[in-house]
Structures are given as C-alpha cells and as structure tokens.
Chain A
Amino acid sequence: MPPLIFEIADEPLNVPALAASLANRTAGALASFEGWVRDHNDGRQVDGLDYEVFKPLAQSEGDAILEEARQKFQVTAIRAVHRHGMLAIGDCAVWVGVIASHRDEAFRACRYVIDEVKHRLPIWKKEHYRDGTAEWVNCQHPGAAHAHHHTQDHAPAFAEADMYARQMRLPEIGAAGQAKLKAAKVLIVGAGGLGSPAALMLAAAGVGKIGIAEFDLLEASNLHRQILYAAADVGQPKAALAADRLRALNPFIQVETHKARVDAETLPALFAAYDIVLDCTDNFTAKYLLADSAILFGKPLVQASIHRFEGQLLTIDPASDGGCLRCLWPEPPPDGMIGNCAEVGVLGVVPGLFGTLQASEALKIILGLPGALDRHLLIMDALTLATRRIARRKDADCALCGDRPTIHALSRPTAQPFELAADDLTAGMLTDFRIVDLREPEERADYPLPQAIQWPFSGFDPANPPFDSSAPVLLVCGGGVRSLAGARALRARGLNEVYSLVGGAKAFAQLGRQAAE
C-alpha cells in the first residue's frame, strides 16, 4: 500500500482492519489515535453528531498534512480517516495510525496529524442535543466556533492590522508603509543564529512573504543562539520548524521553505522569487555565492558574519556605488585561515544582535528609510560595544562588479581531488596534515618520514585507520599508487579529508627541503 493514505469515509470505521492494513515488517511501532463522539459538549448533553465535510478541500488538506508529517518525522507509513455523515455516541469519528521504526517518531507524527486535522480540515459538525435542539459547530476552532466558519488556518480572533498598530503609528510607516511590507518578499538563507531573530522580526513586522532556505536538522548545540527552535525539536528539519514557528507568530503572512542547499543550481530561481535576500549563513563558500548572486541577479543582499564576540554587517545593493563583498576581500580565505563558529565558538547574543540588525536593514530597504548600509561596513564588538561604520566604495578593479568584470556566473563546486601534488602543498598546509606512511618497513630507509604515522599497506584495513577524522590526512607511499588506492578506499568510508601524495616519499622529501629553504 502507498505510505500515505488520507480518506473521508461515509461508513463506520473498522478500526482493527485499519490498524491491520498498516502491518509492515520494517516497522517497530504503531501509534494510533481514535476520536470518539462523546455525550456532552460545552455543558450540554449530546445524542449524536452530523459531520459535514467539504470533500475536495478536505482531501487536499488531509493529503498535505500527511505529507508534512512524513517530512517532519521518520515514519514508515501514515493512514488517517475522518468520518462524514451521522454518528452516534461512542462512534469513531476520526482515526490516525502511524507506523515507524521507533515509537518516539510514531507518537509525535500521530499527534501532529490529529492536531493539524482538527485545526485545518474544513469539517463542520451539527450537534444533536438531548433537549431536541441541534446546532452547527465548527470543528476547527471550538473556542471561536461561530466566528470562523471558514477554512483559514489558525485564524486568530483579531484583524491583521491590529498586530501592527504600534509601528503603523510611526509617521514614516503608516498604512502605506505597512502595505509595502505586505507586498515584500524576503528570502532568509540559513535559519540559524542570525536567521532566527531576522525571521522572527520580519514575520512580526508583517513582511508578506518570507522564504527560509535551510537544509539542516536541529542539533542541541544550536539552541543557545537559534531562538526559532525549542528543545523538543532537536533532530527535526529546521526549515519546517522555522516555518511553523513563523506561521504561529503571524498567520497572515506566507512562509515558504527551500530545503535544497544553496548553490549555482538553486540560487538563480531563489533570487528570482524574492525582492531582498538576507545572508544568514555561516561559511565563506555560501557568503561568496550569495554576494555574487546579488550582483549577477540584481537583488539587494544584507550580509552579516560573526566572529566570537563581534560581527560585521553590510548591504550589497547592485544599484549602489558602495560595491560588493569582493570589492573588500576579492576571494574567500583558504579553509582554516579564519575559523568558524564551530571551531572558535560564539556567544549566542552576538548573532542575535546581528540577525536583528539584518532585519532592520531589510525593513529600511522595503520602507525606503534612510541610513541603509549599502556604502558602509558596520563592525561591532559586543564586549566593548565599540562600533565602527566604515565607508566603502565600489572597486573599479573588482572581478564581480568593477568596470571590466571577469565573474559572469556562479562558481560550481569542483570535485575534491584524491591526489595532491607537491606543488599544491605549502609548508603551512603540511603542518595541518597528518602524514601517514603506507610503505612497508623495508622501504622506509630510502626517504625516511620519522614524523609520519606508520601504516604498512600489507596491513591496510580502511575500516580501522590508525587516525581519526579530526585533521586532514596525507597518505604517502613509495610512488603514489598504493596511497591513491588507500585514499579512494578511505573516502568511500566517509573520511573526506584524505589525500594521496603524487610521487610518494621522494616527492615528500623534496617538499621538506623546499620548506626548510
């Protein structure tokens, strides 16, 4: 059977048969929920219920709920059925069954599906009371049943403009500014330490469409700075969690998730679909791709970057003469030269401050407020609270936005080579590498490598390397043949930072002499 089945049923539900239909040898758990017709509601005695379902919409909404649950949780299959028609006390009105490898995911997915079904399905029930009367009750919002006989998801009991009353009072914003915000489309790339406050502030301000580009799962070590998330969410995909949180904060806006990694393939369509992009990523590769996209696709980009207790903020506006990231630093630095949050640490409030500033810059652009950072770089240190706003101008020689640009397309990742030649290696890189000598003991006299880990190829077992993955590894053998085979075997085991030295120990010895000179 297909893994996701949502049905509207006119006949009584056969619960044992529904549960049996999910039987699956790979599943270790079935969590199911039954909703029954009870004999009272709101203090009145109830004799029975008449369910009326708007079937086309209920079917598509039910399908969507199951698909969301499948994406959020590690489940094998989900089946959910909702009754239509007349039901008596004790009848089963709704049944949800989830099978999964583990009970946690089954319970969570089951809970999610029934909660969303109750919230979102366009189903009304007519309660027949003991006193002979009957009344239509909306199933979606039991507390506000009479006010909301429509299909609006999570509709609150107030008007959208009520949310923005305090900012609309600002003469610089007013109703016209609020309409600009409603029409704006902002993409947030990276829903982490920077993206969390940025997304919350923009959603709260009423930005009409917010995109969240994020491919990661939530980890416990994210929680100290990524304030979109809750402890119970660890292990789940951040994009969907972020979207749920933003929709809960502001149900009047549109939130879209983009779960693919940002790269040369995905960025053109993303930039085309939004007006402004916030770079809330945490690595140079993404930052340079986004900076290049801003110029190549002609959309403003607000970039923030954090280092321990301080951060940098700038806006790249293709329409401005302030230039781009490459005008300041033409190329990203080599890996390991600067250090990222995972390596050097970060105090959670620092991305909190800068993500909020990114939201502020986006609002300034949308609203046409003065003071945008398109011709400055802001640097702030959270410890000293020293702030510098440094003027910058387009560099005429910039390869991206200068007078004779040489960058006309986004760079595509090159496949990581298995082999490194001596010419590729600098003395500095050699100190980072762990050197592993694959030669047999009798070969080692020719070009001794006393600093190397000895791992004779006769005893080579890629499942048990005599090193861990904490540092890159350079394999060296007699001529480069065994080391290449070894590098391939270890990469296949997931050790990605393993390389083979072309030319073997002789090439390494020459390298050592060059370094000494």
Chain B
Amino acid sequence: MSTISTYQELIKHTALNDERYIVMTAENRAVVKELPPVLGNRFIDTGITEQTMIGMAAGLALRGRVPICHALAPFLIYRAYEFVRTDVGIAHLPVKLSAWIAGFLSDGNGPTHQAIEDVALMRTIPGMTVFCPSDHADMVAMLPEIWASPDPAYVRVNVRPDVYGKHTAFKTGVAEVISEGTDVTLLTYGMLLEETLKAAEILKNQGLSVGLLNMRSLKPVDEKAILKVAATSKLVVTVEDHFLTGGLYSIVAEVLLKNRTTANFLPLALNEKWFKPGLLSEVLVYEGFTGPQIAERVQQHVAAEAVG
C-alpha cells in the first residue's frame, strides 16, 4: 500500500520515477512549491501565460512528454481554451490539466475566478476526459490512472480533507457507489460530496431509502450506474457547483435520452447565474448547498410531487 497521501507527494513520486513527466505552471505554485529543486529543469514555470503554457505543453507532449499543467481553473481553460481545444484536443495529446479552485472553491474571488462552466467546456472537446475528485484522498486515489492514460485530461483539483474516509479504488468511467436507495438517489461530484453526504444522512433519518453516488469521472461517465439509478430510484437529484447548462444534469439527461428513458428529476445547480462570492461556508449557505439545505430542497420536491 502506498504511503503517498498528498498531491505534491504524488506528483513528485510520479515525476521522479518517470522522465516523461514535466510539471508546468502559469505561476500558480502553491501546491507544487516544493518541486522546483526536486525536478530541476522538468519544472517549468512560464509566468502568467496560460496560452503559451498549453501550446508549449502540446509541443512537449508531441515529443513523448506528459506535461501536468497547473493554473487557476478559469485561466487554465478559459483564457487558454482555444489552445486546449486546438493544440491538445485536435492532436489528442496526453496533456494533464490540473485546475485549481474550480466550482465553489474560488469562494471569495468573485465571478472572474468562478469556473462553473468548466465541465461543460471540457467535455465538448473530442477525446478530452474530465474528472472531479471529492477530496484530497479521492484525488490521490484517482490521479495515477488519469496521468498514466494516453488521453488528455481535465481535473478539478481538490485538496480538501477526506470527507468520506473509505474511498474505493478508482476506475475511469466508474462512479463510486456510496449507498443505494429506492426513494431518492443523489448524484454529485467534487467538493459538494461533503454536503451531499450530510443531506443523505438527514433524509435517511427521516425514513427515506437514499442512494448516493460520487461520480468522480464525468467523461467518460458511468452510464450503467445512471441507468440503474433512474430505473430503481423514485427521484434522481444532481448536486453540482456548476451551471445547470452542460454539467452533470446535462450529462445525465443525455444518457437517459440516448437510452430512451427518463426519471423524476431534481437538478441542483447554478441556473443562469454566478454565485455570490464570500467565504466558502457563506457561499454554501447563500446558494443553498449546505447538507440541511440540500435535504430540505429534496423534501420540498418530494412534498410537491405528493400534492401534485
């Protein structure tokens, strides 16, 4: 069993054991700050130049390297979107995008820093894979397979403490089934697993049979798990810190329609709006994404259905 427990240890271990890996950053060093002396010239900081970093990563990947590129999510993939699409996407190169502070994790920065359309944008690129770990332990469990793959990958980096405590081994395209239920099943990804776990507990305590899936891999997505949930659960709820358009709600809708089926559905997402900036705990309350609020929104939906 590996003793590696942090992102930085993992990236160090990976790069030291395989010359192909190049660690790049557009001057976001916080989580890779110990690496320059360890990796020497395989640590490349291009300064605040996301486009150049991605183009350069494509050139390096063309020569057999596996660049892991770091920047804040909105700058990594919005400022440099066309470079990701055109240089990495068209050539299908194994460039690994490590995106910081995606979703609610940009807390007090404001809408310039809110990456809440990242899943939508990245999954439209042919061949691009998309991953959203729920916490630091989940991420460390997921990354070795993601980095070893020949595919380009977008990862919502998440270094928050382990919220679940018993993450299972990771497989690309397979969701982590935390519980199964027949009344309501919650599908979530990324940092919202923490609050969704609390919501599931509340709903269970109220006598409901509650399922919960940590999606982990959004592209490829676990279609089998989605279809099973739609067939066996009276209500399916998606919980995401992403625009309603293009994220997990859209993904699930696409899977269901492709398979000519449907579900009683409640999507919890950011509908045509940026979120109110503030401390993360404030953001969650303001936007209605704390565990109790998620549970309440589900209960309201169930109650309305019963009346309707």
- Say whether A and B bind each other: no
**Using a CB–CB distance below 8 Å, which chain A residues touch chain B?**
none
**Using a CB–CB distance below 8 Å, which chain B residues touch chain A?**
none
